[in-house]
A and B are shown apart, each in its own frame.
Chain A
Amino acid sequence: MRRLLASPDFRAGFVGMLPACVGLVPFGLVCGVGAASAGASWLAALGMSAFIFSGAAQILAGQMLAGGAPVAVIVLTCFVLGLRFLMYSAAMAPHLKALPGRWQQALAFLLTDQAFATAIRRFNATDDPRSGAQHFLGAGMALYLCWQVTNMIGFFAGNVIPAAWSLEFAVPLCFLALVAPLLRDMPTVLAAVVAGMAVVALGGLPMKLNLIAAGVIGIVVGTIADLARERWMRR
């Protein structure tokens, strides 16, 4: 363990992630505030950040809990939101194939949007899977620590932030920061626009079912547009 923590790859990964951690501070704070307003105890708030470890899923679960949605609907909606991890997992798999099982299990736990973006770049740049894995572990642990600390600060300090600051607006801004850079091709733009219109149009559905319905409709429309574009370009 000590040798691992001293390895240059681990350290480079840890230090290299610190600037991105600064960018996540507002998101972590808002997640902590969201847990507090969903009525969580400090232990449950820590449980959310430590075990779910996904800002979008934490916010979504908190809002749906506060809105009185049943457990099954909350879990299902968060599952659809988390389907993107399947994509990350498949892209990461060839790089982790040669590693022992416990490395794979540990790194899978740390596979988030930000860690994935960094790790995949690193793996593509190096031939040594061990070096890439140590770098990934360092980056993932930096993110994990930062996430727990900022969530806890948000949980305890959230109620001293004046309501006039409209801090709750930071939540859609965090999501916008993830979505807007993706809108560079037609199928993705269509998926987003259709999902955005569907969530409003289906606002009358009970139990916040409009979220999952709009998400699925957007995914289907994006996929169809993608297939159509490919067929059109082949002609």
Chain B
Amino acid sequence: MDATLKLWVVILAVGLLNYLSRLSFIAVFARRSMPPLLGRALQYVPAAMLTALIVPMIAADPAAGHAMAFNPKVAAAAIAGLVAFFTRSSLWTIGTGMAALWLLQAVS
């Protein structure tokens, strides 16, 4: 498939599915209530899905070198994670995380 066409198909399909998910209980299933087991499972979507996205972005690529070598991204992410946990502020999280990475890259 042509790359531009593929991109637009993804945009329209993901956009439409996102909108239908947002509209679901507000309009489409307005007369139904959430099945309890589904409601319980959905609570874990953000934690599971977002962690699955985060880990490959900060973990060292084993092909790139020593798996046990110090990885400044892991250390910076750990610091940022603590800041996020306590402040709940995205600005503080990104600020400390980036500053920690720059500092660790400068000294290592």
Contacts and interface: CB of A to CB of B under 8 A. Distances in A.
A93 B48 CA distance: 25
A200 B97 CA distance: 22
B41 A104 contact: no
B21 A83 contact: yes
Interface in A131-176: 165-166, 168-176
Interface in A74-105: 74-75, 78-90, 92-93, 96-97, 101, 104-105
Contact of B39 (A90, A194, A219): A90
A65 B6 contact: yes
A57 B90 contact: no
Contacts of B25: 86, 89-90, 92-93
A180 B93 contact: yes
A90 B41 CA distance: 13
Interface in B1-42: 1, 3-4, 6-15, 17-19, 21-27, 30, 33-34, 37-42
A22 B1 CA distance: 38
Contacts of B89: 23, 177
B46 A104 contact: no
Contacts of B52: 195-196, 198-199, 210-211, 214-215, 218
Nearest to B61: A203
Chain A contact residues, majority secondary structure:
helix
Interface in B43-58: 43-58
Contacts of A172: 53-54, 57-58, 73, 77
B4 A41 contact: yes
Nearest to A107: B26
Most chain-B CB neighbours within 10 Å: which of A75, A90, A171, A223? A90
Contact of A44 (B8, B59, B93, B94): B8
B98 A87 contact: no
Contacts of A82: 14, 17-18, 21
Given A26-B94, A170-B98, A187 B55 contact: no
Interface in B91-108: 91, 93-94, 97-98, 101-102, 105
A188 B23 contact: no
A177 B43 contact: no
A163 to B, nearest CB: 12
Interface in A185-215: 187-189, 191-196, 198-200, 203, 210-211, 214-215
A71 interface: yes
B85 interface: yes
A183 interface: yes
A222 B48 contact: yes
Contact of A101 (B22, B27, B55): B27
Interface of B: 1, 3-4, 6-15, 17-19, 21-27, 30, 33-34, 37-59, 73, 76-77, 80-82, 84-85, 88-91, 93-94, 97-98, 101-102, 105
Interface of A: 22-24, 26-27, 38-41, 44, 47-48, 51-54, 56-57, 59-61, 65, 71, 74-75, 78-90, 92-93, 96-97, 101, 104-105, 107-109, 111, 113, 165-166, 168-183, 187-189, 191-196, 198-200, 203, 210-211, 214-223, 226-227
